[in-house]
Structure 1
Amino acid sequence: MARIYTKSEDKKPKIDKTSVLEFFEKRAEKVNTLGPTRAVIYQDKNADLAERRDAAEKALLLPLMKVDNSSRILDAGCGTGRWAEILIPQCASYFGVDVSPGLIKVAVERFGDHNNAQFAVCPIDALSKDKIGADQPFTHILSFGVFIYLNDDEILDALRGYADLVATGSRIMFREPIALENRLTLLEHFSDDMDQQYSAIYRTEQELLSLIKTVFGNTFAQVDANDVYPDATLNNRTETKQKWFLWEKC
């Protein structure tokens, strides 16, 4: 178990993909006791905070994405379908993918009977048209809380997949926990809140944007960015905060 802080010039430790998958499978097992929202917001012992965060995030980000009844949405890292619930009734088609078979099983049980919804097990860094059978480009991609579970090279692969799956004018919304000072890598860290171990990488805003720009270059433009929770009572972390970044394909 380790907490490792690194600066830009330091060698970056990597997290293990198998360990990350095991973490998500255990989260899926907790859906029966915690419910589908708390199981993926990680406030196991604070139900009120989980629900308030969920509501605040949706109220802020949904209008920014400009979804309508012609939208074709890819939810990259859909989990239990937390966003599927609000998006499926508003769009032409919704496609949720996640690395966790357990989480996808929950999402399918909740929303699989909707004619405009599909779900698939797929690592986010392996996304491609062929991999998920996408016959049309997506107009929107949601990438929420995904990149902290990927190493830098895997993020670049994921971004290449995103770029290949959207057409001109499409919007990609990122929402990620950001390290307030130095990059923080957790290796098999035990969380008292969740009563389980997990591994994750909390990058600085500069690091995350550098990775995005490496792939998106001049093909995409950043539309806007800001904090997800302006209300300080919704952020109970001292070393990180949630930020959103909206990009559009030129």
Structure 2
Amino acid sequence: MGNIPETRIYGKNVDIDSNAVKNLYSARSEKNGDRPVDAPTVLSSDTNIENIELWTKEELERWFPQFPLDNESIVLEIGFGTGRMTRHITSKAGEYVGIDYVKEFVDTVKKREDIVKKENTVFLHMPLEQFAAENHSRYSKRFNRLFLSGGVFMYMNDCTLKECMAHLADMLQESCVMYISEPVAVEERLTLNAFYSETIQDNYSAIYRTVDEYRELFSPFLNQGFALEVCQEFFENDIKKMKETKQWIFILKRTKRG
């Protein structure tokens, strides 16, 4: 018999299959049925549907006020999912570009009547690495707001993510606010590689990096004048209740000099 591959890996840098993750979310969207529209993207809702409302309520009250929006705001949202937070952004921002690599999510967001679509509201079906590689020149110094809520980087391997960070740094204006919420590993890096999750009852892959690893990944921004102003646990009362991981919030800001 051959060796059984590890599915729960601590400390090591192991690549995951990003396409498998995309297919999982596509399948979750297709079988959502009568559940709330945002259920496919809030994985903890599989065991408690109220977690969707609790997550969004705390986010809007506690963290979203630190992401100011007005008609001058030009927003890039990474991984908008089913639009859980998008509907609170497009109505206020002057321009909005959102990307997601799950086609079913893009279709959902375009159909949602509670999401304001302006002339300068754009939803793109593509992964972050494609958007960053193909558009970093087109959107050079374009965005003054970057928003990511829930988790996207956790589904990307290190090499790919580092390239994306460098491209994203070139797309941001001198005055800019970055809002990033991702799950992190509490003690050491944890990789789930086709690990069977009791919560979602399917194989699941993700990379839970430590906070220090994210600080290092943010180097392209920190080296260009951004300050990491918020770096702490996202929930006051953790709705996920995981022992080895926590939802985290990072807010980076850069202000125009002079």
| TM-score normalised by length of structure 2 | 0.87
Matched, 1:225 2:231: yes
Contact map agreement 1:126 1:161 (CA 8 A) in 2? no
2:105 maps to which of 103, 106, 120: 103
Question: How far does residue 150 in structure 1 lie from its aligned partner after superposition?
Answer: 0.5
2:90 maps to which of 72, 88, 100: 88
2:154 maps to which of 148, 152, 160: 148
Pairwise mapping of residues 1-250 of structure 1 onto structure 2 (< 5 A)?
2-6=7-11, 10=12, 12-42=13-43, 43-110=45-112, 114-115=117-118, 116-128=120-132, 130-131=134-135, 134=139, 137-144=142-149, 145-213=151-219, 215-219=220-224, 220-232=226-238, 234-249=239-254
Letter in structure 1 aligned against 2:41: V
Flag structure 1 segments of 5+ consecutive residues without an equivalent.
none
Structure 2 residue matching 1:102: 3-state secondary structure: helix
Letter in structure 1 aligned against 2:252: W
Structure 2 residue matching 1:90: 3-state secondary structure: coil
Letter in structure 2 aligned against 1:18: N
Question: How far does residue 130 in structure 1 lie from its aligned partner after superposition?
Answer: 4.8
Structure 1 residue matching 2:194: 3-state secondary structure: strand
Structure 2 residue matching 1:169: 3-state secondary structure: strand
Give the paired residue count.
244
Post-superposition, which runs of at least 4 consecutive aligned residues in structure 1 deviate over 3 A? 30-33, 128-136
Letter in structure 1 aligned against 2:112: R
- Give the Cα–Cα distance (whole angstroms) in 2 for the partners of residues 86 and 221 of structure 1: 25
Letter in structure 1 aligned against 2:61: A
Question: What fraction of aligned residue pairs are identical, expressed as a percent?
Answer: 27
Q: CA RMSD of the aligned region, Å?
A: 2.1
Flag structure 2 segments of 5+ consecutive residues without an equivalent.
1-5
Question: How far does residue 146 in structure 1 lie from its aligned partner after superposition?
Answer: 0.8
Letter in structure 2 aligned against 1:23: L
Letter in structure 1 aligned against 2:15: K
Contact map agreement 1:34 1:44 (CA 8 A) in 2? no
Structure 1 residue matching 2:183: 3-state secondary structure: strand
- Choose 135-144 or 12-21, whichever is displaced more: 135-144
1:82-122 Cα shifts (integer Å, max 9, x gaps): 11111111111222101111211111111577124210012
1:111-159 Cα shifts (integer Å, max 9, x gaps): 5771242100121123238538648711111123111101111211221
Q: Relative to structure 1, is the Cα distance of residues 113 and 57 closer, same or farther in structure 2, using a 3 angstrom cutoff?
A: closer
1:154-178 Cα shifts (integer Å, max 9, x gaps): 2112212321221001111111111
- Give the Cα–Cα distance (whole angstroms) in 2 for the partners of residues 106 and 242 of structure 1: 25
- Give the Cα–Cα distance (whole angstroms) in 2 for the partners of residues 209 and 77 of structure 1: 20
Contact map agreement 2:222 2:228 (CA 8 A) in 1? no
